[in-house]
Protein backbone atom coordinates (compact mmCIF):
# COMPACT_ATOMS: atom_id res chain seq x y z
CA UNK A 1 0.00 0.00 0.00
CA UNK A 2 1.38 3.36 -1.00
CA UNK A 3 1.42 5.64 2.03
CA UNK A 4 1.47 9.32 1.19
CA UNK A 5 1.12 12.26 3.51
CA UNK A 6 -1.55 14.84 2.81
CA UNK A 7 1.23 17.32 2.00
CA UNK A 8 2.47 14.89 -0.67
CA UNK A 9 -1.01 14.67 -2.13
CA UNK A 10 -1.38 18.47 -2.09
CA UNK A 11 1.97 18.81 -3.84
CA UNK A 12 1.02 16.20 -6.43
CA UNK A 13 -2.33 17.85 -7.04
CA UNK A 14 -0.77 21.26 -7.52
CA UNK A 15 2.09 20.03 -9.74
CA UNK A 16 0.14 17.61 -11.92
CA UNK A 17 -0.83 18.73 -15.39
CA UNK A 18 -3.62 21.27 -15.13
CA UNK A 19 -7.05 20.15 -16.14
CA UNK A 20 -8.26 21.85 -19.28
CA UNK A 21 -10.73 24.64 -18.52
CA UNK A 22 -14.05 23.22 -19.53
CA UNK A 23 -17.66 23.74 -18.58
CA UNK A 24 -17.94 19.95 -18.31
CA UNK A 25 -17.54 19.43 -14.57
CA UNK A 26 -17.84 15.63 -14.74
CA UNK A 27 -15.05 15.41 -17.31
CA UNK A 28 -12.81 17.51 -15.04
CA UNK A 29 -13.59 15.32 -12.03
CA UNK A 30 -12.87 12.18 -14.06
CA UNK A 31 -9.57 13.62 -15.29
CA UNK A 32 -8.49 14.50 -11.74
CA UNK A 33 -9.58 11.04 -10.55
CA UNK A 34 -7.54 9.36 -13.29
CA UNK A 35 -4.50 11.49 -12.42
CA UNK A 36 -4.64 10.45 -8.78
CA UNK A 37 -5.17 6.77 -9.61
CA UNK A 38 -2.25 6.81 -12.07
CA UNK A 39 -0.04 8.13 -9.23
CA UNK A 40 -1.12 5.33 -6.87
CA UNK A 41 -3.56 7.45 -4.86
CA UNK A 42 -6.99 6.06 -4.08
CA UNK A 43 -9.45 8.98 -4.15
CA UNK A 44 -12.15 9.16 -1.49
CA UNK A 45 -15.28 11.16 -2.26
CA UNK A 46 -17.42 12.62 0.50
CA UNK A 47 -20.89 13.80 -0.35
CA UNK A 48 -22.18 16.44 2.00
CA UNK A 49 -25.88 17.11 2.36
CA UNK A 50 -29.11 16.01 3.95
CA UNK A 51 -29.94 12.36 4.52
CA UNK A 52 -32.69 10.87 2.31
CA UNK A 53 -36.21 10.65 3.75
CA UNK A 54 -36.06 6.83 3.94
CA UNK A 55 -33.34 7.12 6.59
CA UNK A 56 -35.60 9.00 9.03
CA UNK A 57 -36.74 5.77 10.75
CA UNK A 58 -33.16 4.70 11.38
CA UNK A 59 -32.22 8.14 12.65
CA UNK A 60 -35.24 8.16 15.00
CA UNK A 61 -34.26 4.73 16.42
CA UNK A 62 -30.69 5.89 17.00
CA UNK A 63 -31.89 9.07 18.71
CA UNK A 64 -34.21 7.04 20.96
CA UNK A 65 -31.32 4.74 21.96
CA UNK A 66 -29.03 7.71 22.62
CA UNK A 67 -31.67 9.42 24.74
CA UNK A 68 -32.41 6.21 26.65
CA UNK A 69 -28.71 5.46 27.24
CA UNK A 70 -28.02 9.06 28.17
CA UNK A 71 -30.74 9.04 30.84
CA UNK A 72 -29.45 5.75 32.19
CA UNK A 73 -25.97 7.24 32.56
CA UNK A 74 -27.16 10.49 34.14
CA UNK A 75 -29.25 8.57 36.72
CA UNK A 76 -26.24 6.66 38.05
CA UNK A 77 -25.35 7.86 41.54
CA UNK A 78 -21.65 7.52 42.35
CA UNK A 79 -21.05 6.13 45.83
> Is the CB of residue 50 less than 8 Å from the CB of residue 31?
no
> Is the CB of residue 12 less than 8 Å from the CB of residue 39?
yes
- Residue 1 resides in a domain: no
- Residue 40 resides in a domain: yes
Domain extent for 26:
9-76
Assessment of whether the complete model's pTM goes beyond 0.75: no
Query: What's the domain count of the chain?
Result: 1
- Residue 31 resides in a domain: yes
- Residue 67 resides in a domain: yes
pLDDT tens sequence for the chain (79 residues): 456 566 666 666 665 565 556 578 888 889 999 999 999 999 998 888 887 888 888 888 888 888 887 766 555 565 5
Task: List all residues 6 or more positions away from 2 whose beta carbon is below 8 Å from its beta carbon.
Answer: 40, 41
- Residue 36 resides in a domain: yes
Amino acid sequence: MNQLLSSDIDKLASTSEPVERSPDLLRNIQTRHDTFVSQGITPVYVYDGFAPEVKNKTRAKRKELRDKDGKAWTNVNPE
